[in-house]
Amino acid sequence: MAIKSYDVAIIGAGIVGTMTAFMIGKYKIKCAVLEAGIDVASGTTRANSAIIHAGYDAHEGSLKAKLNVRGSRLVGPIAKQLGVHYNKCGSLVIGYNEKDLEHLRLLLVRGKKNGVRGLEIIEQDRLREMEPNVSKDAKYALYAPSAGIVCPYDLAYAVSENSATNGVDYYFEYKVDKIDYNEVNKLYTISANDKTIKAKYVVNAAGLYSDEIAEILGDKLPFKIIPRRGEYMLLDKSEGKTANHTLFVTPSEKGKGILVSPTVDGNIIVGPNANVVESKADTGVTSEGLSEIAEGARSIVPDINLDAIITTFAGVRATPTSGDFYIRESEKFPKFVHAAGIESPGLAASPAIAEYIVNILRNSGLKFKEKEDYITTRTAEGNCKLFYDMSESEREKAIKKDPRYGKMVCRCEMVTEGDIVNAIRRPISAHTVDMVKRRTRAGMGRCQGGYCRAKVAEIIAKELNISVSEVKKFSSNSNILCGRTKRI
């Protein structure tokens, strides 16, 4: 079989890789995204706090600061273009004493220097008006009205679907294990097991594993990547009024600390802690970790109802020992761009990171000519609104067009068979139960899929014309069924 050749190959379909593909998809450039996992957002992008940070944390002059502030301004318009839930709810960093106030002042000055708009320090009365459930001991807060929340994997799905619609090729289960550079024809050969593609330019957006990609190439990043895990609890929508803004405690040397925040779907998220772990893949949740974040949450909102927990999860940060994002062309290998050490605020900064990568590629000789037939929405059919988000008249219209929109599959999250079929048929097909879950929210409610999981598997089987026992939960070897129970 002929080996496919591309102008650009992006390694990693996290928010950095997919956002870069989204920006490149507007131009007449042949681009491929190579992802080790079965889906977009298989790594850190799947599990984080989901905050579009305003940009007062990072030190003035750092790449983090510059790209955070710019990125946070770009997320809203992209979310609007692609129908992604985004809420500019604002954030509050809570201070309890004079020492905290001193730190809040420092963040205020730093934020202003970074270009964050609307920052101010508020006092107890106003704070309690804005957040009636906050601790009575909270005396001050740094208010950042430009901060927001988003669903991180939905943002990644939206930009990847748009780029796939515009001709970017996605290769899944493509774990890059060999990269060769041919100095004569100036092409990179990028392989994974028995698969190979060629590309003139390469972007290393492999998150936690970007150091390993550099080593596979024969290059070395000038810092180490330390995996730091953060654990979370998610509370039921019944607790949605616990906080109106993202509430942080005054940060420590360990980072931004534990937060209590609304999510775009109406839940409350609590966490994360920050603990160095041995394995980059260690997304386990521990009882000590949950106690730590419960204690942190109670220091912000003493009466928070932690009995309403519906799930727990953890994500792993790619913390660079250098302290800043590292986005530059390799000194040893031409036209090979590393985007490494992208820890928080990598999500908030992602559109600006992608712009930055595009500029490096442009300066390195890649030609950017706009496509005349660029499709602005997620798919050629539009932005794939879910039944839950539709108005009454939109629902009636959808059911008339396709009666499957009238069949409720997930009662907790109001997901219909029409939503699920649509997710399976989109440019990046949701062909496992978890892929459907993250795209439609079927199984994300209070019962966590107890009611609908089997039905979702049946719909996938029917759509893909396979047997139910062939349907996977999250990866190619995660079977749900192995045969008929009576036979067993």
351 binds ligand FAD (CB under 6 A): no
Distance, in Å, from the CA atom of 132 to the CA atom of 147, rounded to the nearest integer, reads 20
Identify whether the C-beta of residue 52 lies closer than 8 Å to the C-beta of residue 347: yes
Distance, in Å, from the CA atom of 255 to the CA atom of 260, rounded to the nearest integer, reads 15
Q: Is 479 helix (H, G, I), strand (E, B) or coil?
A: strand
Nearer to ligand FAD, 178 or 367 (CB): 178
Query: What are the Cα distances from residue 33, in Å, to 8, 127, 190, 391?
Result: 9, 45, 11, 35
Nearer to ligand FAD, 76 or 418 (CB): 76
| Residues 310-339 close enough to bind ligand FAD by CB under 6 A | 315-317
189 - beta bridge partners? Answer: 180, 198
138 binds ligand FAD (CB under 6 A): no
Structure tokens, 214: 């550099």
Distance, in Å, from the CA atom of 434 to the CA atom of 441, rounded to the nearest integer, reads 9
Select from 148, 207, 351, 443 the one that contacts ligand FAD (CB under 6 A): 207
48 binds ligand FAD (CB under 6 A): yes
Identify whether the C-beta of residue 370 lies closer than 8 Å to the C-beta of residue 27: yes
Q: How far is the CB of 483 from ligand FAD (least distance, A)?
A: 31
206 binds ligand FAD (CB under 6 A): yes
148 binds ligand FAD (CB under 6 A): no
Angle of helix 152-165 relative to helix 346-363, nearest 10 degrees, comes to: 30
Candidates 53, 245, 338, 431; catalytic one:
53
Distance, in Å, from the CA atom of 12 to the CA atom of 37, rounded to the nearest integer, reads 9
Q: How far is the CB of 199 from ligand FAD (least distance, A)?
A: 13
Nearer to ligand FAD, 321 or 469 (CB): 321
Nearer to ligand FAD, 248 or 405 (CB): 248
Select from 21, 23, 31, 34 the one that contacts ligand FAD (CB under 6 A): 34
| Residues 226-245 close enough to bind ligand FAD by CB under 6 A | 230
Q: How far is the CB of 319 from ligand FAD (least distance, A)?
A: 9
Nearer to ligand FAD, 23 or 414 (CB): 23
Structure tokens, 307: 């009995």
Q: How far is CA 347 from the centre of its chain?
A: 6
Torsion angle defined by CA atoms of residues 254, 223, 317 and 263, in that order, rounded to the nearest 10 degrees: 80
Is 53 labeled as catalytic in the residue annotation?
A: yes
Q: How far is the CB of 392 from ligand FAD (least distance, A)?
A: 34
Q: How far is the CB of 12 from ligand FAD (least distance, A)?
A: 3
Select from 78, 89, 176, 436 the one that contacts ligand FAD (CB under 6 A): 176
Select from 135, 344, 422, 440 the one that contacts ligand FAD (CB under 6 A): 344
Which DSSP letter does residue 95 get? E
Point out which span in 22-30, 38-46, 125-133, 387-395 binds ligand FAD (CB under 6 A).
38-46
Select from 175, 195, 385, 407 the one that contacts ligand FAD (CB under 6 A): 175
Point out which span in 50-58, 362-370, 430-438, 439-447 binds ligand FAD (CB under 6 A).
50-58
Q: How far is the CB of 34 from ligand FAD (least distance, A)?
A: 5
Q: Report the sign of the C-alpha dihedral through residues 374, 379, 380, 384, in that order.
A: negative
Q: Tokens 């129970």 — which residue?
A: 485
Closest by alpha carbon to 163, among 411, 375, 366, 410? 375
Count of residues engaged in binding ligand FAD, rule: CB under 6 A: 41
Nearer to ligand FAD, 104 or 274 (CB): 274
Query: What are the Cα distances from residue 253, in Å, to 103, 107, 123?
Result: 12, 14, 24
247 binds ligand FAD (CB under 6 A): no
74 binds ligand FAD (CB under 6 A): no
Which helix (H) or strand (E) segment holds residue 111: the answer is: helix 98-114
347 binds ligand FAD (CB under 6 A): yes
For 256-291, the DSSP string reads S--EEEE-TTS-EEEE---EE-S-TT-----HHHHH
For 70-100, the DSSP string reads HHHHHHHHHHHHHT--EE---EEEEE-SHHH
Identify whether the C-beta of residue 262 lies closer than 8 Å to the C-beta of residue 304: no
Nearer to ligand FAD, 207 or 296 (CB): 207
Q: Tokens 């001709």 — which residue?
A: 167
Q: How far is the CB of 294 from ligand FAD (least distance, A)?
A: 16
Buried b (16+ CB within 10 A) or exposed e, 476-486: eeeebeeeeee
Nearer to ligand FAD, 56 or 405 (CB): 56
Nearer to ligand FAD, 206 or 444 (CB): 206
Select from 43, 111, 289, 351 the one that contacts ligand FAD (CB under 6 A): 43
Select from 13, 29, 65, 104 the one that contacts ligand FAD (CB under 6 A): 13
209 binds ligand FAD (CB under 6 A): yes
Identify whether the C-beta of residue 452 lies closer than 8 Å to the C-beta of residue 414: no
Active site residues: 53
**Contacting residues toward ligand FAD, per CB under 6 A:** 11-17, 34-37, 42-45, 48-51, 53, 174-176, 205-209, 213, 230, 272, 315-317, 342-348
